[in-house]
Structure 1
Amino acid sequence: MRIAIVTDAWEPQVNGVVRTLQSVRRVLEAQGHRVEVISPDRFYSLPCPTYPEIRLALASTGSVGAMLEAFRPNAIHLATEGPLCVAARRWCLRNDMPFTTAYHTQFPDYVSARSGVPAEWIWRYIRWFHAPSQAILASTPSIRQSLIGHGLTHVKHWGRGVDLANFHPGVAPHPAMADLVGPVQLYVGRVAVEKNLEAFLKTIHPGTKVVVGDGPARSALQARFPEAKFLGPMFGAELAATYAAADVFVFPSKTDTFGLVMIEALACGVPVAGYPVTGPVDVLTPETGAMDSDLTVAIAAALTKDRATCAKYGRSFTWEASARQFLNALYAMDDHEAAA
C-alpha cells in the first residue's frame, strides 16, 4: 500500500507527534508498505512565533498537490492542523480525494496557554479542519469523547507504543544521576509553558527534581529553580538510562492527548505521578501510577507502586499494535481512484 503522510511536525523537532509518525512509519515500511512523508523540510519555512524550534512551511496547494500526484497514494493522512496540512486538505477537497486526519495535541488548550486566546475560538478551527475527513484518529477514549462533544463524531482509535529494545527494566541507571538525593523525581519532554513544568518544580516532596529536555522556557525555569537538575535533551539508550535512575516519573501536563513519555517510563519500571486529566486518566492504572489535583500528593502515592508491575504494564504498549490500528483506520482508495 502507498501511504502519504502530510505533517507540519517533523525532524528536527522532538515531540510525541514526530516520534509517533517515525515509529509507525518504520513498522509499516518493514511490512512492505511505501510511506511518503511530506513535511516542512521540503519547503521554504519560517519559525513559528513564540516557538522558533517549530518551522511553518510556506507551501502552496499546487506544490503539495504535485507531490501527492507524483506519489499516487492509496491513502492520504493529514497528521496536524498546520499550514502544510491545510494546503494538502485544500488539494484533496478540490480533487475529491478522501483523507484521514489525527488529533495529536490539545491544540485549543495549547494555543490558549501560549497566547491567551479562548480555547473555544480555536475549537471552531479544529471543527473546520477535521470535519471533511473520512476519520479522525485519536489516541484515547477521553480524546474521543472530547471530539464527539465538539461535534466531531467520526473518530477511530490509534494508540501509541514503546521502543521495547531501548526501554526496559534492565537498563543501567544514568551515571549523571547516580549521586542525587532520593527519591529522584524525573520529567522528560519539551520545556515549554504548555507542559505545566512549573507545577512540578514547585512541588514540595523531598528528593531531587530532574528535567530532561529542552525548549523556550528552559533558561527562565533553570534560573528560578536552581535546585533542580536540568540535563538537556537525551535520546535512545541515554534517555532510557535516565528513566532507570528515577524513582518516580512526573507528568505535569494538562494539555497532552496521550504522553508517550509515561509509557516509556513505565516500561522501564518507573511509576508515574500526574494530574487526573486526559492522558494520565487514559494511560495509568491504580497499580502503575497515581493522580491527584495536588501533584505533591500524587508523587508520594506513586512512589509506593511496584516497579515490576509498572514494567509489565508499560511493555504492553507496542508500535506494531499502533501501526496496525493506524493502517486499519486509513481510508484505502483502489488504484483507479488513487490515480484519478
Structure 2
Amino acid sequence: MTSESSAMLRPVKLSPDGRVLHLLDQRSLPEREDWLDLDDVESVAEAIERLAVRGAPAIGCAAALGLVASSWRFSDDTVMFRESCLMACERLARTRPTAVNLFHAIAHMRGALAECPAGLAVAGVRGHLHAAALRYVDDELRACLTMADHGAPLMPEVGTVLTHCNTGALATAGWGTALGVIRRAHASGKKIRVLADETRPVLQGARLTAWELRHDGIPVDVIADNMAGALMARGEIQAAIVGADRIARNGDVANKIGTYTVAVLCRYHQIPFYVAAPWSTIDPSTASGAEIPIEERDHNEVHLHGGRRMTPAGVGARNPAFDVTPAELVTAFITERGVFRPATLSALMDS
C-alpha cells in the first residue's frame, strides 16, 4: 500500500492481535465518531444488518475480518473449530442479500479454510485465516485506488458532479469507489464541486458523503433527492457518478434506491452517468437485474425521521433498499481493470 493509503480513513480494521474487529459506527455520523469493538460473530452480523457498517465493499471486509475476530471464541478442537468457522460464514451470509461483495468475502474465507491441511492445529488455521482476511481487505483497497486513477480523467475539468448514497472510504476498505474517483480528480487539480443527494430514507448522502467531503476539503452541497432533475434542467450538473451493490452479467446495476431515477434524469438531460465499482461487484452468475434480490428494510425508516413519526398512524410504507438501473442507461463502468462501456462489459461476461 502507498503512503496515500496509509493516511486515509480505514472504517473497518482488525486489532493487531486479531481478536477484535473495530468498526466506525456509521449510524452515529456526523454528530459523533463512535467505534464499535466486536469479537463474536453475532455482534458482527448485527452490525451489518443494522447499518453500523454499510457499503458493499465495506460489508465484505467486515465479514472477512469479523470471522477472524470471532474465531478466538471457537473451540480449540480442530474439527469443531472448522465447523464453527463454517457456521459463522452461514450466519454472515444471511445479513444482507443484495451486496454481492459479502458473498465474495465469505467464499474467500471458506477457500482459505479449505486450503488448510486436515491435521493443522487451530493456531495454524487461525493464522491462515488472519492472513487471508488481510489480503482480501488490501485487495479491495488497491482496487479503489486503481479505479480512481481510471475514473478521474472522466470527471469535468470544471463543474459539478452529482452523487447518490455514500461511496467513499466509509463504504469500502478506504478511499472509496465513486467518491474515490472524485477525490482523485480533485487532487489532480480539477475544480469540481459535488452535489450530494441526501438519499432518503437513511440519509447516507447527507450524513456520510457530506461528512467525508468536508473532511477532505472538497466543496459539497447537500440536496434533497427530488431536486436533481431541476438542477440538471438549469445546466448545473455536468456528470453523475454512483457506486453499485451488484452488477449483473448484462450490466444491469443494483444500487441504493433512487439510483435508477438519477440515471433516467441523466439520460433525458444528456449528462454522463458513471458507475464506479470493483470487479468483485460484478456477478456473472446473475444474468440480469431481474434476478437480483432486493432487500426490503424496516418500514420505520420511512415512517420516522430524527426519532419523530412523519406519517399518520395506521398508514403503510414501502422500503426497498435498492433499485435496478438498466445497463443501457450507464455511460460507462469504472473498475480497477479499466473503463468499460455496457456492451463491452456484457461481452466480457459472456466470453
Aligning the two structures, in what range does the TM-score lie when normalised by the shorter sequence?
0.3 to 0.5
Higher helix share: 2
Report the TM-score when normalising by structure 1: 0.36
Report the TM-score, using the length of structure 2 for normalisation.
0.35
